Amino acid sequence: MPRVICAGHVNWDVTLRVETLPDPDGEVAVDSRRSGGGGSAANVATGLADLDVDSGLLGSVGDDEHGRTARAELADAGVDVDHVLTVPETETTTKYIIVEPSGEVMVLGCSGANESFAADDLPESALADADHLHMTSQSPETAARLAERARERDVPVSFDPGRRIDQRGYGPALTSVDYLFLNDREAALALDAFDLEAQTLVLKHGPDGAEIRRGEDRTAHPGYPIEVVDTTGAGDAFAAGFIAASVGGANDHRALAVANACGALASKAPGARTSLTWDDVRAFLGE
């Protein structure tokens, strides 16, 4: 079984569904509220475990009820949490995710423990056993050092820097990895600021599907028409599908088809995590 390590945020998510976003100084009613573990790295690790990939997680939580519950949820999902640090006297990072009827989201984040881990918290033996390292939003210094360590071990690295790509010094990490997962906004910022000719770009176009760019080569997949319920975690499900298919030997078009299916399945359900199975994916693909 392929071994993938995910490194990045482990959060506690509070999702609020509303009829509309309030105007400044306004107020709207909350239609529903749900809480559970989140964070991009944790979401991808869970998706990989669902898709029969041996997944481990490097991250950090606080020494509180939310941190303990988040760890327990991940372990129950089949994720190796041996390298998730518990930070004393620090709260687990909480994200408030507000979802409107179209499925689009806005996020309010509270600072906490999720960037307390360092690159050296991943033992050399764990990295040596990995077939792939996937990084999500985290300290730029940690991301760059993790990429460097993986490169020394010839472990392929992917990076999904997330929506704050233009607010953090991710340059050394972006230009050191093998695969970059970017949405249209992130790609516009990154391609304008960095030389990414050496990286394989996995570009997410939302309802218009996705594509892979390797230099001048392009592989595209149109995606699937669905009724969107909640886009929270859809990019993480996409990444899990792409990585699971790729480490399993799929070609680019197949990897994109699986990734788009996983992203679509996540968008059809509320919350940051959707149970992914190969049976569900194949049924979605009409196989």
Convert the pLDDT of each residue in 3-48 to its tens digit.
999 999 999 999 898 988 888 888 989 998 989 999 999 999 999 9
Q: How far is CA 105 from the centre of its chain?
A: 16
Q: Which residues contact 5 (CB under 8 A, 6 or more apart)?
A: 55, 56, 57, 58, 83, 122, 126, 127, 130, 132, 133, 134
Instruction: Work out the percent of the chain whose per-residue pLDDT is above 70.
Output: 99
Q: Where are the domains of the chain?
A: 3-11+38-92+112-285
Q: What fold is seen in the domain 3-11+38-92+112-285?
A: UDP-N-acetylmuramoyl-L-alanine:D-glutamate ligase (3.40.1190)
For residue 65, the model assigns a pLDDT of 96
H or E element: which one contains 66? helix 65-76
The pLDDT value recorded for residue 230 is: 77
Q: What does the pLDDT look like over 68-100, one tens digit per residue?
A: 999 999 999 999 999 999 999 999 999 998 988
Averaged confidence pLDDT in the chain = 93
pLDDT score of 273 more than 90: no
> Tens digits of per-residue pLDDT, 243-271?
999 999 999 999 999 999 999 999 988 77
274 — pLDDT class (breaks 50, 70, 90)? confident
User: In this model, does residue 284 exceed pLDDT 90?
Assistant: no
Can you tell me the mean pLDDT for 48-75? 97
Q: What is the pLDDT of residues 124-171, one digit of tens each?
A: 999 999 999 999 999 999 999 999 999 999 999 999 998 888 888 899
- Those residues whose C-beta lies under 8 Å from the C-beta of residue 48, and which sit 6 or more positions away, are 4, 6, 55, 240, 243, 244
Which amino acid would we find at residue 50? D
Residue numbers annotated as active site = 236
Residue 275 confidence (pLDDT): 87
Report the predicted TM-score, pTM, of the whole model to 2 decimal places: 0.92
Average pLDDT over residues 108-133: 94
Does residue 104 carry a pLDDT above 80? no
